[in-house]
Amino acid sequence: MMIQFALVMSVVAFLVATVGFIYTYSIGRNQKFQGEYDTEISEKVQEHPYLRNPVFLACIIATGVAIASIIYFALNYTW
């Protein structure tokens, strides 16, 4: 019973992380095409805009953790 709950919660966490990543990515793309920014963006961030964005990193890490937990529970579940 507990394994099924953990599996369902893992799938829900994966879906939330995926939807959050897609939504954040779409907002980021829309802002890129708008005219003005509040401040100058440093050159390091301009070179790697996705790797330097903590929101994207959080979504990527959460997605990775969700996938790892799903795989872990799937391999340890006795069918």
| Residue-level pLDDT at 56 | 83
Structure token pair of residue 34? 């708008």
**Angstrom distance (rounded) from CA 27 to CA 15:** 18
Of residues 34 and 1, more confidence is placed in: 1
Tell me how crowded residue 17 is: count the other CB atoms within 10 A of its CB: 20
Classify residue 6: in a domain, yes or no. yes
Into how many domains does the chain fold? Answer: 1
Any domain includes 37: no
Given this model, what pLDDT does residue 73 score? Answer: 87
Q: What's 33's DSSP letter?
A: T
Query: 47 is in which domain, residue-wise?
Result: 2-28+42-76
pTM score of the predicted model = 0.44
Q: What is the CA radius of gyration of the chain?
A: 17
Residue 63 lies inside a defined structural domain of this protein: yes
Residue 35 maps to a domain = no
